[in-house]
Amino acid sequence: MITPAQIEKLRIVSYPDPILRKRCQPIETFGERLQALTDRMLDLMHAHRGVGLAAPQVGLPYRIFVWNPTGEREHDAVFINPVLSNLVGQEAGEEGCLSIDGVTVDVKRATSVDVAAHNPAGEKIHLQGEGLVARIWQHETDHLDGRLILDYQSAAEEIANRRQLKELEAKYKAQQTPSRRGRRSARR
């Protein structure tokens, strides 16, 4: 699905890259290549001090996310083809997103969630999560369905975030400039 050279080059993509709005496809082939990809995603997540990172955020339309609520390497975790169920309770909390720098939104999430998923080796995982962990799972699962924290903005947040979103849009547009120079700088 993806070569080691491509894995090495992965970087976090930013709003409004259209990949962030795609509904992602399930993984059907497990094993070493998938492990290498998720290792790289975990490295990127830690480098940007995130608690979760979904495959579309590195430009790949697959149902994969990595997560770690503490930042301690021993808590690194990977979900392939995750399915959430038993969403219970509701709590508002501020969320940011590694793909939408400088924007925060107050999002209501279930406080307790069950997940069924696979690890990169293809083994089944069943877990229950609460609080921050449940929030991370819901935020990252949203990414796999093309949903972003922007979709939860209140009218006041839309106004507060408008300027930063315009800046991200301008930055993205500049990177898409079809001149050789623009394309080369976008790859850095």
The catalytic site residues sit at: 140
Interface residues with Zn ion (CB under 5 A) are: 97
Cα distance between residue 117 and residue 64, in whole Å:
10
**CB nearer to Zn ion: pick between 97 and 115:** 97
**CB nearer to Zn ion: pick between 10 and 97:** 97
- Give rounded-to-5 percent helix, strand, coil for the chain: 40, 25, 35
Residues 11-28 as b/e (b if ≥16 CB within 10 A, e otherwise) read: ebbbbbbebbeeebeebe
**CB nearer to Zn ion: pick between 81 and 99:** 99
Give min distance, CB of 152 to Zn ion, in A: 12
**CB nearer to Zn ion: pick between 48 and 166:** 48
Give min distance, CB of 31 to Zn ion, in A: 27
Q: Which residue has the tokens 């990177």?
A: 175
The two tokens of residue 29 are: 């082939």
Residue nearest to Zn ion (CB): 97
In residues, how long is the chain? 188
Q: DSSP letter at 49?
A: T
Q: Where are the alpha helices (DSSP H) in the chain?
A: 4-9, 32-47, 132-144, 155-175, 180-186
Give min distance, CB of 15 to Zn ion, in A: 10
Give min distance, CB of 143 to Zn ion, in A: 6
> Which 3 state secondary structure label does DSSP give 86?
strand
